[in-house]
């Protein structure tokens, strides 16, 4: 089984490599970073994803004003 997995792994290419999170990153921040990374690489997002991103940016602005 390991041999089979390794053979398939060699044939796959990374689309992009970008740091999205570390140990102390919140779930919302991970999601936000992942969405931005995907958009930078040409992915299109649906309405729900765009709404999440807008709400998170608004939340960041509110926290920075405090």
CA angle 44, 47, 52 (to 5 degrees): 100
Q: Is residue 34 part of a domain?
A: yes
Any domain includes 54: yes
9-64 pLDDT, tens digit per residue, is 666 666 667 888 899 999 999 999 999 998 988 889 899 999 999 999 999 899 88
Residue 30 lies in a domain: yes
Residue 21 lies in a domain: yes
Token reading at 14: 């990374």
8 in a structural domain: no
Q: Is residue 3 part of a domain?
A: no
Residue at 26 is within a domain = yes
pTM of the model: 0.68
Question: What domain count does the chain have?
Answer: 1
The predicted pLDDT at position 47 comes to 94
Write out the residue range of the structural domain in which residue 36 sits: 14-65
Is there a domain that residue 4 lies in? Answer: no
């Amino acid at each position: 089984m390991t041999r089979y997995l390794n053979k398939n792994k060699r044939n796959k290419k990374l689309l992009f490599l970008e740091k999205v999170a570390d140990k102390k990153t919140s779930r919302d921040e991970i999601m936000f970073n992942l969405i931005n990374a995907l958009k930078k690489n040409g992915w299109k997002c649906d309405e729900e994803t765009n709404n999440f991103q807008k709400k998170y940016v608004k939340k960041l602005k509110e926290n920075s004003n405090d």
